[in-house]
Amino acid sequence: FEWLGGVPERIVYDNAAGVGRKWFDRIRLTRLFQAFQAHYGFEYTFCNPYSGHEKGAVEARVGAVRRRLFVPVPGVWNLDSFNLRLPDRCLELGDKDHYRKGESQTGLFDEDRKALLPLPAKPFDVVTWTRMKADKYGNITVQGSHRYAAGPEHAGHEMIVGLRALEVEILDAEGKRVITHPRSYGDKPTDSGDPSSQLGLLCDRPAAWRNSRVRDAMPDPLREWIDAQDEATRRDSLRALLHADGESGWRAAVAGMLEILESTGGTDRAGVCLAAARHASGLGPVAYDDPVDLSEYDIAYTKEDE
């Protein structure tokens, strides 16, 4: 909705279990969707099940997008950044004339946008809240296999846990924020505990990487990249992480390394430490109005008398 610049007056859903399920002759909506629909104020209807013929053109476009953008399967280093660029990449596929109207598809799309309902003052927070009791170590377990640390001071206490697509937020019983962790998926057990105590040993023995707690705590893109490196590159990456962790803490170090990997394709120590320090201080990256030409520095440094 934010990318569109408004809210459609009516949305047709197809096979959307997250919206609701059919119960005899009526649809039982989920509580999250009911809150979402009430927040934005659109109308909704549902397609008939097993009736692909009702929307053949849409089904064909889904296949076209899949073939153009997801074959071969792309490597994704940062899911937020990938999703941020994806709508514009999809829109580029429509940069041609409509098969029946003979007008530009992107032009028609811009006209459709003018009919959107206005956005509310605040976006909807897509989160499911639940109450859980922390174990004797101060951890809460989600979906039976993913453990997130609230801290030993919360051992045995009731916690309020918010589940979002990419993060898990933990509040105390009074609703005060305790900590936010990246969300884990899959059947394999995971643990959000700080693994930095292993980093020094792992730098000396990078061959132990695949069975380490550090690897288990890494976000998938960073883990997969380090998995694919030779031992020397892996050791250098772990040393960069070790230095950043010592200066800025584990969470900031991992966030900084992921940012540098996405922007440069590598994990040099200086870049990782700088990015980690920025994350630790809460500062965002510097944005310039005009493109920055770093070649000016090369010209300056090549002058012998300056």
pLDDT tens digits, one per residue of 170-198: 999 999 999 888 888 888 888 777 677 67
Amino acid at residue number 190: T
Least confident of 75-79, 101-105, 119-123, 236-240: 75-79
Most confident of 48-57, 88-97, 220-229: 220-229
* Residue 210, domain member (yes or no): yes
Tokens read off for 62: 């889904």
- Whether residue 181 sits in one domain with residue 264: no
* Residue 291, domain member (yes or no): no
Q: What is the dihedral of CA 84, 111, 121, 129, to 10 degrees?
A: -50
- Whether residue 173 sits in one domain with residue 266: no
Closest CA to 166 of 78, 95, 256, 91: 78
CA distance 134 to 141: 8
Closest CA to 112 of 252, 6, 256, 241: 6
DSSP string over 63-108: HHHHHHHSSSPPP-S-HHHHHHHHHHHHHHTT-SB-TTT-SBHHHH
- Whether residue 105 sits in one domain with residue 16: yes
Q: Tens digits of per-residue pLDDT, 35-77?
A: 999 999 999 998 877 776 777 788 888 888 999 999 998 877 6
* Residue 296, domain member (yes or no): no
The residue range of the domain holding 163 is 128-191
Query: Which pLDDT value is given to residue 151?
Result: 82
- Whether residue 133 sits in one domain with residue 91: no
152 band by pLDDT with thresholds 50, 70 and 90: confident
CA distance 81 to 85: 7
Structural domain total, the chain: 3
Print burial letters for 26-59: b (CB count within 10 Å at least 16), e (below 16). eeeeeeebeebbeebebebeeeeeeeeeeeeeee
pTM of the predicted structure, to 2 decimals: 0.62
Beta bridge partner(s), residue 28: 21
